[in-house]
């Protein structure tokens, strides 16, 4: 008889699996606990990479400025002291405190005439198209190999930085 009463009485306190899962999902998606930590993890990682890349670009730019300065110092040395290849090379190498700067290629002395495209090579003692004598020039060069802090996709890890400076000495 007990079975008949239990079957006949409506069950009102029974919760279905569908209702339970629905309630759990609603509660899960309505909560905002831990959202800041997830946002920080995503944004913090991106920000850290931007910071590293910016620092690496800044170091590369600074290194390139040092190479340019070294070439200019070599040309200035030639303008003041005349052509002396070993001394010009020494001035290029010791112009800055940045390590690894070389006077490469070696300083050269040449004769030329000023033109719209730069300096046109000429023979010693020849006359330029404007009627002046060919002048004496010195070209000082500097180079350095720069290595990035971390490898980047599509960018070589090491590349050459070069600079050349030309000065008229006579």
* Position 83 confidence tier, pLDDT thresholds 50, 70, 90: very high
Domain layout of the chain by residue ranges = 34-168
pLDDT digits (tens, 9 = 90+) for 114-156: 888 888 888 888 888 888 889 999 999 999 999 999 998 988 9
- Whose structure tokens read 């405190």? 97
- Rounded CA-CA distance 85/46 in Å is 49
* Mean pLDDT confidence for 57-83: 95
Q: In terms of pTM, does the model score above 0.85?
A: no
The answer to whether residue 44 scores a pLDDT higher than 80 is yes
**Diameter of the chain measured on Cα atoms:** 132
Which candidate, 65, 46, 54, 67, places its Cα nearest to that of 148? Answer: 54
Instruction: For helices 35-81 and 85-93, give the axis angle rounded to 10 degrees.
Output: 160
- pLDDT at position 50, please? 93
Cis peptide before 105 (omega within 30 of 0): yes
Instruction: Give me the chain's average pLDDT, please.
Output: 87
Residue 159 β-bridge partners:
146
Calpha distance 106→138 (Å, rounded) = 11
């Amino acid at each position: 008889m007990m079975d008949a009463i239990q079957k006949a009485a409506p069950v009102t306190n029974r919760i279905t699996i569908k209702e339970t899962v629905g309630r759990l999902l609603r509660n899960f998606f309505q909560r905002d606990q831990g959202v800041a930590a997830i946002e920080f993890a995503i944004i913090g990682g991106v920000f850290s990479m931007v910071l590293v890349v910016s620092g690496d670009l800044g170091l590369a730019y600074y290194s390139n400025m040092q190479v340019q300065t070294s070439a200019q110092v070599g040309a200035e040395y030639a303008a003041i002291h005349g052509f002396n290849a070993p001394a010009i090379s020494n001035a290029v190498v010791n112009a800055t405190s940045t390590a690894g700067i070389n006077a490469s290629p070696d300083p050269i002395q040449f004769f030329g005439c000023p033109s719209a495209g730069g300096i046109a090579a000429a023979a010693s003692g020849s006359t330029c198209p404007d009627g002046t004598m060919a002048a004496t020039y010195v070209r000082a060069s500097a180079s350095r190999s720069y290595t990035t802090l971390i490898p980047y996709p599509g960018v070589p890890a090491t590349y050459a930085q070069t600079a050349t400076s030309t000065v008229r000495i006579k």
